[in-house]
């Protein structure tokens, strides 16, 4: 046996262990009113002990205030992935498994507890997703959302299930082309309380919606490939933004893409969002900023095939929805 120090909450939800070369993160955040600090020793040697500083944080109010920041998540290393992230084959084809809380605005939308689409938390009572996720005549009693979700088959420590009050699709949806204005807002029955693993993503101001302002971009979701089931684990993939003109020149799209769409992914194929990722956010960070905030710029909408050469994914462009979203939420 060796000496060790263990820090956790009363339910052992997050466990931090200091032993040998295994160092603790600084600071450690425990999302509980109780903290357990356990020291074990084999009495073999004599050390100087530990010096501990702690701080309590007031509960966040249901009412957002000027000190609250959106779009904050776990930090990444220089390769774009969270330190010590597990690399696994993904249903977001070519992507990586996400750690719980890594994308704290992620929401799974379910009908009769069966996964249907992804969504993103954009305020304490509103979610953003794709309009094509819902049938024309929908019974809201059969639909729920799981906010702060990571694994579909079990409840995460800070995941909450909410009923839906209303679903609003953009008034121009399907007015011109099948996936034009593929935006929908979900209102849940009551506001939620924010935590470090359950908080909204930022919506990028229209004036900054320029690819030159955007740094790395990711898509996350629980989607499938054509011959695989829905992924149980939330996964993410880094993808480049492509020129819409270039995508319109591919055999797959042949000029059918409109300005309300974003083309993103790999022309050569191999990596892509896929079926089941619909409604999930396309999110980016900004160049030359220090706040590390993530901004949603698009919504997974459609694609010809998954990860096939010449068929990058198509996303709804939030530039054409920002005013509509603001008017609905503020009213």
CA distance 149 to 58: 24
Active-site option among 182, 225, 272, 277: 182
Active-site option among 85, 120, 132, 150: 132
The two tokens of residue 89 are 């084959």
CA distance 59 to 30: 13
- CA-CA distances (angstroms) from residue 158 to 63, 113, 199, 206, 277? 19, 18, 11, 32, 22
Dihedral of alpha carbons 279, 73, 79, 156, sign = negative
Q: Is 302 exposed, middle or buried (0-12, 13-18, 19+ CB in 10 A)?
A: middle
Active site residue 132: yes
Active site residue 32: no
Active site residue 90: no
> Annotated active-site positions, please?
132, 182, 278
């Amino acid at each position: 046996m060796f000496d060790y120090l263990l820090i956790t909450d009363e339910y052992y939800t997050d466990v931090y262990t200091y032993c040998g070369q295994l160092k603790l993160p600084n600071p450690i955040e425990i999302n509980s009113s109780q903290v357990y600090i356990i020291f074990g020793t084999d009495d073999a040697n004599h050390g100087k002990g530990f010096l501990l500083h702690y701080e309590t944080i007031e509960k966040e109010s249901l009412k957002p205030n000027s000190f609250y920041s959106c779009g904050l998540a776990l930090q990444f290393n220089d390769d774009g992935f969270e330190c010590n992230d597990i690399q696994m084959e993904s249903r977001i084809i070519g992507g990586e498994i996400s750690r719980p809380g890594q994308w704290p605005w992620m929401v799974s939308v379910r009908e009769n507890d069966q996964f249907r689409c992804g969504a993103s938390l954009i305020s304490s009572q509103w979610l953003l997703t794709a309009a094509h996720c819902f049938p024309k005549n929908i019974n809201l009693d059969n639909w729920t959302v799981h906010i702060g979700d990571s694994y579909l088959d079990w409840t995460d420590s800070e995941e909450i299930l909410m009923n839906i009050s209303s679903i609003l699709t953009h008034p121009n949806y399907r007015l011109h082309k099948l996936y034009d204005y593929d935006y929908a807002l979900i209102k849940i029955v009551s506001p939620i309380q924010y935590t470090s693993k359950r908080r909204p993503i930022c919506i990028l101001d229209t004036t900054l919606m320029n690819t030159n302002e955007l740094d790395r971009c990711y898509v996350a979701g629980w989607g499938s490939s054509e011959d695989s089931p829905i992924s149980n684990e939330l996964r993410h993939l880094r993808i480049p933004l492509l020129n819409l003109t270039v995508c319109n020149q591919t055999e797959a799209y042949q000029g059918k893409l409109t300005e309300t769409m974003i083309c993103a992914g790999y022309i050569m194929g191999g990596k892509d969002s896929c079926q089941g990722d619909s409604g999930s956010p396309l999110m980016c960070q900004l160049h030359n900023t220090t706040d590390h905030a993530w901004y949603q710029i698009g919504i997974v909408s459609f694609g010809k095939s998954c990860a096939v050469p010449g068929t990058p994914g198509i996303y709804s462009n939030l530039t054409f929805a920002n005013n509509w979203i603001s008017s609905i939420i503020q009213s």
